[in-house]
Chain A
């Protein structure tokens, strides 16, 4: 059974960098044709797809966040990570990581999410 767990600081100052890690168990982040996604939900808002890093380290990002996002794999730890630069209060959200297989257009499973607050 695949499980994902987000981790990282719960508080980030404005203009600084948000860094989160997703630890995967029950599967390998470098397994062929797997895509590892980050999705967030700001308070009172809907979900927003941030982007993915695939099994070979290729990435694709939401055009609205592309200039501020970097995702990467750490195969030695079976983790993948998210960095969001120059954050503001608008980046306050619960951040989820989720698995996507092959060319499927759905996300399963997800982590439970981690709340990141941007505040001085």
Chain B
């Protein structure tokens, strides 16, 4: 079982908002301040969407936002578009210059 727990799948309609959670089940991730999120379309390179919990790289639409409450980090996508349909992975620094990932969430935009 992964140190970071994500729902296996979520679905929502175009134009709506969806939130994907990432819950730390181990204290190995410390204060959980270094969470990143990746969007992965099958067959393509995973793409960084959020880093350091809330920060968005240049070029990533403002529709993507990150947050954290306690031991749960979240990725929210507002104004869903069909091209947002992908797998989403959370990642956290786990100390000792190591990193852990969640199990990934498949987002379906109906």
Contacts and interface: CB of A to CB of B under 8 A. Distances in A.
Contacts of B52: 105-106
Interface string A33-55: 00000010000011111001000
Contact of B101 (A47, A109, A110, A112): A47
A106 B100 contact: no
Given A96-B46, A104-B51, A111-B45, A46 B98 contact: no
Interface in A72-120: 96, 98, 104-113
A25 interface: no
Which range holds the interface residue count of chain B? 20 to 34
Interface in B21-59: 34, 36, 38, 43-48, 51-52, 57
Contacts of B6: 46
B36 A106 contact: yes
A111 B40 CA distance: 11
A107 B44 CA distance: 15
A15 interface: no
Contacts of A108: 48, 51, 57
A80 B60 CA distance: 28
Contacts of A48: 101
Contacts of B96: 60
Contact of A46 (B34, B45, B51, B101): B101
Contacts of B102: 46
A105 B34 contact: yes
B44 A112 contact: yes
Sorted from nearest, which 9 A-B pairs have the closest CB atoms? A105-B34, A46-B103, A47-B101, A106-B36, A108-B48, A106-B51, A110-B45, A105-B93, A49-B99
Given A47-B104, A105-B99, A106-B91, 13 more contacts: A45-B103, A46-B89, A46-B101, A60-B96, A60-B97, A63-B98, A105-B52, A106-B48, A106-B51, A107-B91, A108-B48, A109-B45, A110-B38
